[in-house]
Chains A and B, each alone.
Chain A
């Protein structure tokens, strides 16, 4: 199942569905990296609210997305990590350092709006 990428103003939003194969994740990664420059977006929000489990491949992909998006001149915010998932990730040593995180989509947008305002 492919992940749809929505464009909302200067932000691209990708919402993870429950069951994603590794191929879907790779597809999403290349899609985001292409579209972020194509649409001249300033930020990408990846919403993982629906994920009850986040395996090592998925979290590595998240980190890769964040780093690649930075190289393409935009910022990434990961939103909606579940408490149990957060703790499990930390225990596996997948802490997503230097990637911005927020509670949910709304918070992510608030965070980005604040950031854009200070940059203007």
Chain B
């Protein structure tokens, strides 16, 4: 390999692209040499890397074979990214990998950890190879470090982005699931609330309920909060406001399924529940609502 750039350079490695053309030409040549070295020692370096991964107890959610397979693909994409100096393929691979491993509970630090381990393993092998020629080692590292940093960066960012996408998607799903306003009888609506209520969700619930009252011309609404584990002052006040706003639209609200814990919390924090009509369970609530609407449910036997 020709040394066009005679003087040894000492630069602080970082995520900085090469500045002048001679430099970039020299560095790409060095990278080519580097890639050849990594291809040659593929098996050995890969095994060393996998060994280091299990040593540091990363990726515990995956089996040894899986780690080995993934490590092989990551290694090859890594070398390819070094060779071509383009990161699109690696980015796509990182996204694809993240998609597969996020559902298995792999954490961000693990992904960053294994990429940094690979970087470390490769750097060590470069040290071992060029330890006699310090100037060359220096230049090789100059070429290697920025590329390796960019690779680590790309993979980490890809993973985090994928994670955030998954979180966003799930939040969306929860939001859509969260507020069914159902008509059980003419002029009787039920609103089953499940899960955690935050102020934003509470607001959305109220809006949907008020709109539902209007469109279904409801007289009575049963809000069932059996599925709500906890409630704070803000949410409790919001519930009271919902009840009052529903009354302004001419509908009576019955709240059912207050758990003992919530009952205790509400009494302790002193929320005024005097205006709320509460019944123990959903069945009782619907029965009460039917009475208010003038329905009477009888079995056929009773009727005859």
Contact = CB atoms under 8 A, between A and B. Distances in A.
A81 interface: yes
A87 B206 contact: yes
Contacts of B248: 78, 81, 85-86, 89-90, 95-96, 101
Interface string B242-263: 0011111111000000000000
Interface residues of A, number: 20
A102 B249 CA distance: 6
B210 A86 contact: yes
A20 B74 CA distance: 71
A103 interface: yes
Nearest to B211: A83
B217 A86 contact: no
Interface string A84-120: 1111011100011100011100011001000000000
A81 B241 contact: no
Interface in B93-135: none
Q: How large is the interface on B (under 10, 10 to 19, 20 to 34, 35 or more residues)?
A: 10 to 19
Nearest to B208: A83
Interface centre among B214, B244, B249 (most CB of A within 10 A): B249
Contact of A101 (B207, B241, B250): B250
Nearest to B206: A87
A79 interface: yes
Given A86-B245, A87-B241, A87-B245, A107 B207 contact: no
B213 interface: yes
Given A83-B211, A107-B217, A101 B249 contact: yes
Interface of B: 206-207, 210-211, 213-214, 217, 241, 244-251, 275
23 contacts: A83-B211, A83-B213, A83-B214, A84-B210, A85-B248, A86-B210, A86-B249, A87-B206, A87-B207, A87-B210, A87-B245, A89-B248, A90-B241, A95-B247, A95-B248, A101-B247, A101-B248, A103-B213, A103-B217, A103-B249, A103-B250, A108-B250, A111-B250
